[in-house]
Chain A
């Protein structure tokens, strides 16, 4: 048997899901290494870096997104069970929530309302496109839930996913500054605010910077805001006919 020419090997590999699944994992490993070298700065977050690496790879190899997604969908699929799994940290925090029930409820409602109204309001004032506005509405929510909401209300799920990631990075950069300006010192409140505004990125930041209590409350805020937004936003959009 004679060996296949390299061009044909590439054609075969590019068509199979293996290549792009593998590329996604490798990109994430490389991105995590680079982030560690850079001292864990949120500006070079592993997710943002992996996405940039993969987009560069697709552009270089002239691969379109559907071909890439045929491989990467196996990872994407796990977002569903991962969303369900958010019930576990929520369950773990039930005692703490009971103690701080009133501030947590008010903080969730105020935060979710502010996040949605400010995103929709500012983008409408600045003259954003209709689909862009709808894709921005759930941007503070953790992405599996945000993408589900975007799909339901007529936004663009993949655009929402990107905006959610950017929100996370921006939240980690300006969050500590806003909290200092507002003289917020309680770790539970710091964590909760970060989780509400910057979902999983805020949670990861809190665990590493503000400690375990802030991290736990951040995870709680991420779950609660996701839940409240998922219940409230789609009917609201229908109501206002956006």
Chain B
């Protein structure tokens, strides 16, 4: 029964999210709003129901498998990818490197400052 209850909670949140996204013509995907609704619900409740945890963590464990059908869709874009192969490759590599660098350096500076101010207080 726990699978059914867990899945109902997830689908219920997604459904509410889709309805809100459409009704208010929000630029945010329905499942993302569903995630927020669930997060708010969990914070109010203060804990994760066992049924939801087993279903949700089961889904997240196989998250990579769920990407496959969409990824096979690359077959439809062979022409575009061949045409823009180097643009795509250079963009992805440079962008990943810059993103990693900026994120880690910003956090490192701030965390060091955090530690220092805590030392001064002590």
Binding site for B on A (CB under 8 A): 24-25, 27-28, 46-48, 50-51, 54-55, 58-59, 65, 68-69, 72-73, 75-76, 78-92, 94, 100, 102-104, 106-107, 110-111, 114-115, 118-119, 122-123, 126-129, 132, 136, 139-140, 143-145, 147-149, 151-153, 156-159, 161-167, 170-171, 174-175, 178-179, 181-182, 184, 186, 188-190, 192-194, 196-198, 200, 204, 221, 223, 226-227, 230-231, 234-235, 238
Contact = CB atoms under 8 A, between A and B. Distances in A.
Given A107-B106, A179-B104, A238-B27, A58 B74 contact: no
Contact of B84 (A128, A158, A174, A179): A128
B13 A84 contact: yes
Contacts of B106: 103, 106-107, 110-111
A70 to B, nearest CB: 10
A47 B80 contact: no
Given A87-B38, A184-B104, A170 B96 contact: yes
B101 A182 contact: yes
11 contacts: A47-B68, A68-B72, A85-B55, A103-B114, A119-B92, A123-B91, A143-B70, A162-B73, A189-B111, A193-B104, A230-B32
Contacts of B108: 182, 184, 186, 189
A132 B79 CA distance: 12
Interface of B: 7, 10-11, 13-14, 17, 27-32, 34-36, 38-39, 42-43, 48, 52-53, 55-57, 59-60, 63-77, 80-81, 84, 86-88, 90-108, 110-111, 114
A167 to B, nearest CB: 6
Given A152-B29, A182-B105, A196-B103, A75 B68 contact: yes
Given A152-B27, A200-B63, A179 B74 contact: no
**Chain B binding site: helix, strand, loop or mixed by DSSP?**
helix
B25 to A, nearest CB: 10
